[in-house]
Structure formats: C-alpha cells, structure tokens
Structure 1
Amino acid sequence: MAKMRADAQRNRAKVLAAAEEAFAVDGLAVPLDDIARLAGVGAGTVYRHFPSKEALFQAVVLERIEQFAEEARALADAEDPGEAFLDYFVRVIKQASLNRAICDALAESGGHAFKAGAGDGFRAALGELLARAQAAGAVRPDIDGDDLRALIVGCLAVERYSPGSRHLVRVVVDGLRASPREGDVA
C-alpha cells in the first residue's frame, strides 16, 4: 500500500475523530454527510477513505478496541493481578458505556469489534489479565473469556438503560471476586 500524502492523512484522521464523536452518540444511525460536515471535509473525502458507513464504523470501533487491548497489555505485569483485572474491567465498562458504537459492537456476537481477528488482541489481553487474577486467587476460577464478554455486555446494558446505577456494576465485580475458601479468615 502506497504511503498517503500528509493532507490525506490529516483528512483521514479528521474523519475518524468526527466519526468517533458522532457514532458515540448515535451509533450507526448517523448519516455520513453529518460526519463529513463535522470533520470539515466533503462527503467524497469520506468515501475515498472508507467505502461505506459500515467500513468507517468498523475502523472507529476497531481503533478503540485496540486501545482497550493496549491498556490490558500494559497491566500484564501488575503487582496485584486481581486488582489490576477488576479495575480494568470496571474501566472498560465506564469508557465503553459512554460510546454507543462501542456498546453496540461489543454486544453484537461476532460483530464489528471482532471482525478480521481485530478483537483477538483484546480477547487475548483480557484473557491474560483474567488468568493472572485467577492464578493469584483473586478472581473465581469458573469464569472464562466468554463469560467475561457476556458480563461486559450485561454491565453495558445496565449503564445504558439504568444510568446512575453504578452499584449494579459493583455487584458484578464483587461476584467476580474469589470467595474465601473454607478456613480462610474473611
């Protein structure tokens, strides 16, 4: 692939930033013309970089999912793997809940967030944090990656449909914690 001219790179970045902002509020319902206007470019510029609204949506979502993966990888060697995992879990929910596009993508089974293997990095990094937290005895051992995805989607639904109910996410986090074993002092 040929290197883009500097102005084309700037325009692509403006389109992605505008699309992220628009999709965060309206999801896929936002018209491409609105994104072009928000980016300060013409609709043709948007189509030159992204052949469809779905392609633009996917690019925005995949960029954010990759940021989540990078954040998780940065925590891989945390001193307290249990707290690192649980804090990260809550942070993903808080950040994703503010972005309708991310909520929609994570909720969609096999959807935008995970097309073409792009979600593999997120799943792997999250799985690694989970495995370390479980090995440290901080997170219950009967949870796997599929369970986590379902819990994230459920927590996002709580955040979306019951704003201000942060205590419900805390209930889920408490449920992820390993229960004290018999003989342990609580």
Structure 2
Amino acid sequence: MTHQRPQHIPTESPAARENIRQPRADARRNRQRVLQTAQQLFAQEGLGVSLDEIARRAGVGPGTVHRHFPTKEALYLAVSIDQIEHLVTEAAILATTDDPAAVFTLLSRMMTNGAENSAVKSALTAAEFDLRTAAPELAADLTGHVAHLLEHARTAGIVRDDVTVEEAMALVAGAFAAIHHANAQTNPARSAHLANIILDGLRPRPLEAPDTRTVR
C-alpha cells in the first residue's frame, strides 16, 4: 500500500496578507474622498457636476469613481446614506452626554444637513428612491436616537409633553423646504437660525399670567 504525502497548502505570509488588505483600505479611503467631494460640489455647484470633475477634485482617477458609482443616481444615494451614517454616529455620541438639550442639537444638525443636500434629495425623489427603503436600518437607528433624546428632554421639562417623534421628524422634513425657500443652503449661520426658529416650537409654552383685572 502506498502512502501519499499530504498535499502542501501554501499559506499567506503576514506581508502578503497586508498587501491584500492595503488595496482594500485604499479603496475605502478613495470612496470616502469621492463621497465628501461629491457632497460639497453638489451643495455648492449643483447636480450638473460630472463624475469626471468629481474625480479630478477628489484627486482620484475617473475609473475609481465610475467603478464605485456607475451612475449619478448611485452616487446621489451613496452621498445621502453617508450623511445619515454621520448623523447616526453624532446621535450616538450625543446620547452619551446626558445633556437634556441634546435633541435640539441633533435636530438642528439634521435640518441643516438636509438643506445642504436638498438637491441630492430632490434628485432621489425624482428617481423614486426612498432612503427609508434603501437604508431601513440606518433610518430606524436615527429615528430611535431622536426618540430617546426627545424623551430625555421631555423628562427634563424642556420639550412639550405633546410632541411625538413622528412630529419631530416631520419638522425636520419641513425645515428642508424652509431653508431652501430662504436660499440659505450654503449659509450655515442663516440655516441654523431658521432651524432654531422651527425648533422653538418644541419648547414648552410659558404659563399665561392670570388675569388680575377687576371686573366692574
């Protein structure tokens, strides 16, 4: 009976594994650079910016952009999802501060962020993309954080008792239109001012002083 020598299966050296990981890390960095550049250009110059121009401004080759985002719509969606991811991260950090007013910080940021990306959101709506469908877990996470911070603020007495998370999210959506109507998308100070005016509606109304006039 003959015995076969066990087949040698080559293993990757640490250096080889690092060489495999490195392109993936570079690809992630390039993708993030493209997303950040695209978001800025769409907000500042509109949706007419070409993918090749985005690649040039991001400092990557056109093939990199087209490989990650074969269409403008794919890039629009990726930009919007990336912004929601940042908001979820910011919301999670705010939830650890124990600041009862943190809900105002988050909602204000959501309003100004949405206004900055209003052109992208409009394009997605026109293309019948729904972010709640495209990224349901992220949308649920963000709504969950808003609900948690809203309840914390309500317990502290700095938010009206009758405000629901659905109503707070509706105010955010309405703020997009208000900031866009005021042409304040690229003016952070003005868009924040408008957001604060809208958010004042969440605060408890002061108790009316009793009428002390004497009836004659």
Tell me whether the two structures share a fold, i.e. TM-score over 0.5.
yes
Report the counterpart of residue 86 of structure 1 in structure 2: 104
| From 178, 183, 200, the counterpart of 1:174 | 200
Residue from 123, 128, 135 that aligns with 2:148: 128
Q: Does 1:73 align with 2:92?
A: yes
Aligned residue pairs: how many? Answer: 181
Cα distance in 2 between the residues matched to 1:143 and 1:119: 20
Q: Which residue of 2 aligns with 1:60?
A: 79
| 2:169 paired with 1:143 | no
Structure 1's consecutive aligned runs of 4 or more residues displaced over 6 angstroms after TM superposition are: 105-110
Q: Decide whether aligned partners of structure 1 residues 91 and 111 sit closer, same or farther in structure 2, where only a CA change above 3 A counts.
A: same
Amino acid of the structure 2 residue aligned with 1:97: A
Match of 1:15 in 2: 34
TM-score normalised according to structure 1 size? 0.76
Residue 63 of structure 2 is matched in structure 1 by 44
* Structure 1 position 97 matched with structure 2 position 115: yes
**One-letter code aligned to 1:130:** L
The offset of 1:41, in angstroms, is 3.1
Question: Contact between 2:103 and 2:149, CA under 8 Å: does it hold in 1?
Answer: yes
Alpha-carbon offset, residue 130 of structure 1? 1.1
Q: What CA distance in whole angstroms lies between the structure 1 residues aligned with 2:92 and 2:171?
A: 20
Structure 1: distance between partners of 2:157 and 2:64: 52
Counterpart residue identity of residue 16, structure 1 = L
What value does the CA root-mean-square deviation take over the aligned residues?
3.3
Q: What percentage of aligned pairs have identical amino acids? A: 40
* One-letter amino acid of the structure 2 residue matched with residue 94 of structure 1: T
The structure that has the greater radius of gyration is 2
Instruction: Look up the match of 1:24.
Output: 43
**2-side partners of 1:154 and 1:59: how far apart?**
23
**Structure 1 unaligned runs (5+)?**
none
Q: Structure 2 CA distance, aligned partners of 1:171 and 1:12?
A: 36
Residues 8 and 170 (structure 1 numbering): CA distance in 2 closer, same or farther, change over 3 Å?
closer
**TM-score for the superposition, normalised by structure 2:** 0.67
Distance 1:101 1:121 in 2: 24
Comparing 27-36 and 169-178, the one that deviates more: 27-36
Return 5+ residue gaps in structure 2 as ranges. Answer: 1-19, 185-189, 210-216
Contact preservation (8 Å) 2:47, 2:120: no
Output the amino acid matched with 1:156: F
What are the within-5 Å matches in structure 2 for residues 142-161 of structure 1? 142-161=162-181
C-alpha distance 113-23 of structure 1, shift in aligned 2 (>3 A): farther
Amino acid in structure 1 at the alignment position of 2:205? S
